């Protein structure tokens, strides 16, 4: 059945992608979250949805977090952290955000599949989530990157939870109540 073949392919490939992430870069990234005055996340399309899901969890952990482009987002300043998610690393609004954030003195974590991309070059910490083999019939377009990015960022949340000594109960107190 194609469904099972697809799920197996996606699981195997995302595991391989995430095993390639350097632990030192994860530790460096974690430190930036604790040093930041404010955290901003951004991505376009499906990568943007991954970024927004991450932003929600950061809010649940008590970090002052904003999504770039939303009407209530603060201005980015020196001492802030910008997390950019883009498979290609060349999506124009995301690449422009990297340039602007750098000019403003913010720290940048980029999450991309392209180590030579615009956002990787501007990042203080580039996280590369590069699929080794693509099979468009089992995982079309950027599926492997997007799922790997989601899992990577949820792993970051788990590490931040541990270091802040947070749990689901404390996070639930910051969960939306008007849903």
* Residues with active-site annotation: 146
Picking from 96, 109, 159, 152, the residue whose alpha carbon sits closest to that of residue 129 is: 152
Calculate the CA dihedral of residues 158, 107, 87, 114 and round it to 10 degrees.
-110
121 phi and psi angles, rounded to 5 deg? -65, -30
Q: Residue 66 in 3-state DSSP?
A: strand
* CA end-to-end distance (rounded Å), the chain: 38
Side-chain-side CA neighbours of residue 135 (13 Å)? 13
């Amino acid at each position: 059945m194609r469904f099972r073949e697809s799920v197996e392919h996606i699981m195997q490939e995302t595991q391989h992608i995430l095993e390639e992430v350097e632990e030192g870069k994860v530790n460096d990234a974690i430190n930036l979250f604790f040093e930041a005055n404010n955290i901003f996340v951004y991505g376009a399309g499906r990568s943007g949805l991954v970024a927004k899901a991450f932003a929600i969890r950061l809010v649940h952990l008590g970090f002052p977090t904003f999504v770039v482009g939303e009407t209530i987002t603060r201005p980015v300043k020196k001492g802030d952290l910008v997390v950019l998610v883009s498979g290609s690393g060349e999506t124009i609004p995301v690449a422009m955000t990297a340039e602007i954030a750098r000019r403003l003195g913010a720290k940048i974590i980029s999450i991309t599949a392209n180590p030579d991309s615009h956002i990787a070059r501007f990042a203080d910490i580039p996280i590369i989530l590069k699929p080794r083999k693509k099979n468009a019939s089992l995982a079309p377009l950027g599926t492997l990157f997007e799922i790997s990015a989601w899992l990577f960022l949820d792993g970051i949340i788990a590490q931040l939870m541990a270091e802040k000594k947070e749990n689901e109960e404390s996070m639930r107190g910051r969960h939306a109540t008007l849903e």
